[in-house]
Amino acid sequence: MLNTLQARGITVPERTMVATASDSEHTRQSHPAISAIELNPSATSAALLDLLQDRMSGLPSTGPILTASRFRPRASTRREPLMPLDASPHNV
C-alpha cells in the first residue's frame, strides 16, 4: 500500500498516515518505517490452546481472553505538531 500511495504522489505521513495490524521486518525497513501493532503471538497461542482444551473437555467457553499487544509508532504516523493559531504568520 505504501508504494501505491507514494506512486500516486500521496505523501506519508504528511497527507496520509499508515499503520498495520502486524509487525514485521517489512514494516520496520520501509521508507518511511510503518507503525505497527505487535500482537504477542506466544501469549495469544497459549490462550487459544487453553480455550480449545476446555472445549474439547466439554467445559463451557471462558472467553474472550485478552492478551497484551503493543503499538510501535514509527515514521509513517509521525507528523509535525500544528502551529498554534496565535503563532500563525497571519496573526502578526
75: its cell numbers: 515514521
The reported pLDDT for the residue numbered 80 is 79
The reported pLDDT for the residue numbered 10 is 95
Please report, for residues 17, 60, 63, 67, the alpha-carbon distance to residue 55 in angstroms, rounded to integers and kept in the order given: 41, 6, 11, 19
3: its cell numbers: 508504494
DSSP letter for each residue of the chain: -HHHHHHTT--TTTT---EESS--HHHHHSSSPPEEEE--HHHHHHHHHHHHHHHHTTPPP--------EEE--GGG--PPPPPGGGSGGG-
Query: Which residues share a beta bridge with 20?
Result: 36
| pTM above threshold 0.85 | no
Q: Over its length of 92 residues, how does the chain's per-residue pLDDT go in tens digits?
A: 899 999 999 999 999 999 999 899 999 999 999 999 998 999 999 999 999 999 999 998 888 889 999 999 999 999 877 666 566 555 54
CB 21 within 8 Å of CB 1: no
